[in-house]
Amino acid sequence: MDADDQLNLYRNSGGDSFSGSVVGGGGGSMVQVAAADFDGDGDVVSTSGAGDLYLYIGNGAGGFASPKVIGHGWGNVRELAAGDVTGDGKADIVTVDKTDAQLRLYTGSGGDVDYTKVIGTGWGSMTNLAVGDVTGDRKADVVANRADSGELNLYVSTGSDVNFSKQIGSSFQVMNRLTLADINADGKADVVATGRATGDLNLYTSSGDDITGAGVIGHGWATVKHLV
């Protein structure tokens, strides 16, 4: 989402080349935003200032249906990401709570989510929460960086929980936005992050249990509010 509150889709046109187009507007009321495949078409979820959780179902062509409220009381969410943690083909939601710093899993049913369980505690210093299949086992894993040290950590999904695996990056405090996506189409989600000072879009490719810096793949991303 850009500075004009427009939702932009950047299609991978091969390698690390992307072409962007506006696919939605009026996103100024979105507080937390995540993209994942809830029903097979590529969808977006967001929280509002009033604490409602909205689902935008994709039409398969880059557009979205009118939003549907699928939850209330989400105003205390500090970090939100989405992906198929359980491996059942339907996206789930993972959040970090502002008050108790718990990492929580909400299991997706295809058009809705249900609170499932606490899958982590002590996440008060974790930022840039992202969910994606880093390991390539068809279950989405969790990645987040520690704001106090800049460590980027990988938490591998078991299908019902996530376990700390290892530190996969350092000095990520210089990144202000981060997401996971399979950029090189090898079945493993890569890390994409924007530089806080530079506005550069940086790619880190996944080997399955680690990441390798692959360089800058875009410039002028400083005005992007949400990277999903």
- C-alpha torsion sign, points 161, 116, 176, 89: positive
Distance CA 194, CA 177 (A): 5
Q: Which of 34-43, 71-80, 99-108, 109-118 has the lowest mean pLDDT?
A: 34-43
Reading the block at residue 201, the tokens are: 């879009």
**pLDDT score at 24:** 57
Sequence-distant (≥ 6) Cβ neighbours of residue 152 within 8 angstroms:
143, 144, 145, 167, 168, 169, 170, 172, 191, 211
Q: In what order do the strands lie in the sheet with 141-146?
A: 126-132, 141-146, 152-157, 162-169
**Residue 189 banded pLDDT, cuts 50, 70, 90:** very high
> 19-28, 36-45, 90-99, 148-157: which range is least confident on average?
19-28
The label of the residue with tokens 């507007």 reads: 25
Nearest CA to 175 out of 211, 201, 205, 214 is that of 201
The whole-angstrom separation of Cα 166 and Cα 88 is 25
Amino acid in the structure at residue 131: V
Residue 27 has pLDDT above 60, yes or no: no
Tens digit of each residue's pLDDT (9 = 90 or more) over 89-115: 999 999 999 999 999 999 999 889 999
